[in-house]
């Protein structure tokens, strides 16, 4: 993930929390153009369709779910995936953690 690279945030229909929309907005402010799938009308997209969309558009998927990590392991090509493995976390601490770790994530 490099500055200017677009990020796609997974829209998990089981998670109605706005936390990932807020993270997408914050990363955009920090120079990493990001959007949530709801922003482009894809909130009900299936994982494989999201994977293919991100690959076609040259984007990185950011997700809390294991599904995209599994796709990475099973595929020889495809989009990059940032798998957030922080468990249940409030918006403020998540934003702070990602912002603190952004240099390592971007490397």
pLDDT in tens, 41-51: 766 668 888 88
d(CA 37, CA 65): 15
Helix axis angle, 91-106 to 19-29, nearest 10°: 50
pLDDT for residue 7: 54
pLDDT for residue 100: 92
Phi, psi dihedrals of residue 3, rounded to the nearest 5°? -55, 135
Nearest residue to 26 (alpha-carbon basis) of 105, 85, 82, 98:
98
d(CA 46, CA 65): 13
Q: What average pLDDT does the chain have? A: 79
């Amino acid at each position: 993930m490099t500055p200017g690279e677009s990020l796609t945030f997974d829209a998990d229909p089981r998670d109605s929390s706005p936390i990932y929309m807020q993270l997408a907005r914050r990363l955009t402010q920090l120079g990493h153009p990001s959007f949530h799938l709801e922003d482009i009308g894809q909130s009900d997209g299936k994982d494989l369709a999201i994977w293919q969309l991100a690959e076609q558009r040259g984007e990185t998927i950011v997700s809390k779910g294991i599904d995209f990590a599994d796709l990475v392991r099973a595929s020889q090509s495809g989009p990059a995936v940032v798998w957030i493995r922080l468990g249940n976390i409030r918006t403020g601490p998540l934003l702070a953690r990602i912002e603190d770790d952004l240099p390592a994530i971007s490397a």
